[in-house]
Chains A and B, each alone.
Chain A
């Protein structure tokens, strides 16, 4: 679901951008966050995510790493450049130590390994919002 720039500026609750090429994962994440009251939007690849971030300035970005068109790591760097205040949480099955370190060094604020429990994601989002 996309919203207008005006709505973003006036809407009081945090907005969360979900970025994953897998529609099932996007739906699962939306379900997990449905009760939080956050405003949710989604993108299916890195390029689309970067375009949306420049318009929406999301408070939190849930970012997959392995995606078509643009790698999640590349998208992470660009999002950090476009919107430094966005907190990025990487959600990926590629949870090798070196890749987690790489993502955190590139500016991610959290890493949730797939498969995940919905409460893990809710907790991770709440944590970065409170930080």
Chain B
């Protein structure tokens, strides 16, 4: 059996080793950043010059990466199992009497690592699935907590906001003034998905009403009965009533209404990935203008 000596980036030497041992060490992460190889312990070559070793190192690294990600997925599922059946405030690590803002802060801190945007393209499918499970679970928990907190005194925690919209009289059940599919059209092609959104004074709340996907998080809620899985990339086209402006943006699905709130509108939330400053400013001004107009009407 051929033996090799290996040298890492810190010039530390290990050997003689068989290829099986080397693969095992690389896959377990015990040996990394290899730079040179020798067949006799004295004459050294680059890793690329010894293909049999380079291949073993590449295979071992891939195996190790997959193994680590599967392990992480198992850890997430185990953590998720321990969370099920517990109250939101226990999971969020806050007191039961916390304000909605505290719930939101705790929620965002907890959910961030599991957000689809945080996972790289080559993330193992098992880890992606486990992260999605956790993301959905925590999002559902937040929606339920929000419903519970806002039920007796709707939106009491956001009354202090200084935006024109916050000064609008609140409806008893916080029901949105729009329904699913009323103004969102989804078009699917072989390699694209496009959502066309007709923005009007009646539905401008899609930019502000949702606690998790709103302008402050570069997000928007799209009321629709179409289902798009978390992480889906799509193009969103906004057409504004009373304005010739049209805005196009690339977006990713980051939130789904999983049907836990009967009163909520079904749909999904997207994060706008590339939005010009001028477009962002226009949307903000449109929202503020329409909110002021509504305020003047009531």
Task: Name A's B-contacting residues (CB within 8 A).
Answer: 21, 46, 65-74, 93-99, 102
25 A-B pairs within 8 Å (CB atoms) are namely A46-B13, A65-B14, A66-B12, A66-B14, A67-B12, A67-B13, A68-B10, A68-B12, A69-B13, A71-B5, A71-B13, A71-B41, A73-B14, A73-B16, A74-B13, A74-B15, A74-B41, A94-B25, A95-B30, A96-B24, A96-B30, A97-B24, A98-B20, A98-B24, A102-B21
B11–A68 CB distance below 8 A: yes
- Known contacts A93-B30, A94-B25; decide if A71 and B15 are in contact (CB<8 Å): yes
A71–B30 CB distance below 8 A: no
Interface residues of B in 212-254 (CB under 8 A from A): none
Nearest A residue to B20 by beta-carbon distance?
A98
Within 8 Å by CB of A68, from B13, B15, B21, B25, lies B13
A96 to B12, CA, bound (A): 18
Within 8 Å by CB of A73, from B11, B15, B24, B31, lies B15
Q: Is B113 an interface residue (CB 8 A)?
A: no
Nearest A residue to B11 by beta-carbon distance?
A68
Q: Is B8 an interface residue (CB 8 A)?
A: yes
What bracket does the count of chain B residues touching chain A fall in? 10 to 19
A98 to B18, CA, bound (A): 9
- Known contacts A66-B8, A99-B21, A102-B21; decide if A94 and B31 are in contact (CB<8 Å): yes
CB distance from A104 to the nearest CB of B (A): 13
Task: Tally the A-B contacts, defined by beta carbons under 8 Å.
Answer: 52
Sample of 11 more A-B contacts, CB < 8 Å, known A68-B13, A71-B13:
A66-B12, A68-B12, A71-B5, A73-B14, A73-B16, A74-B13, A74-B41, A94-B14, A94-B25, A96-B21, A99-B17
Collect the chain A residues with CB atoms within 8 Å of residue B17's CB. 99, 102
- Known contacts A71-B5, A94-B30; decide if A21 and B21 are in contact (CB<8 Å): no
Collect the chain B residues with CB atoms within 8 Å of residue A95's CB. 30
A99–B25 CB distance below 8 A: yes
A98–B21 CB distance below 8 A: yes
A69 to B14, CA, bound (A): 10
Within 8 Å by CB of B14, from A72, A97, A98, lies A72
Q: Is B150 an interface residue (CB 8 A)?
A: no
Q: Is B28 an interface residue (CB 8 A)?
A: yes
A96–B13 CB distance below 8 A: no
A96 to B5, CA, bound (A): 16
Nearest B residue to A98 by beta-carbon distance?
B21
A123 to B10, CA, bound (A): 31
A50 to B16, CA, bound (A): 17
CB distance from A99 to the nearest CB of B (A): 6
- Known contacts A66-B8, A71-B41; decide if A96 and B28 are in contact (CB<8 Å): yes
Interface residues of B in 1-43 (CB under 8 A from A): 5, 8, 10-18, 20-21, 24-25, 28, 30-31, 41
Nearest A residue to B13 by beta-carbon distance?
A71
CB distance from A103 to the nearest CB of B (A): 11
CB distance from A2 to the nearest CB of B (A): 24
A98 to B31, CA, bound (A): 14
A124 to B31, CA, bound (A): 25
A66 to B34, CA, bound (A): 12
A71 to B7, CA, bound (A): 9
Collect the chain A residues with CB atoms within 8 Å of residue B5's CB. 71
Collect the chain B residues with CB atoms within 8 Å of residue A69's CB. 13
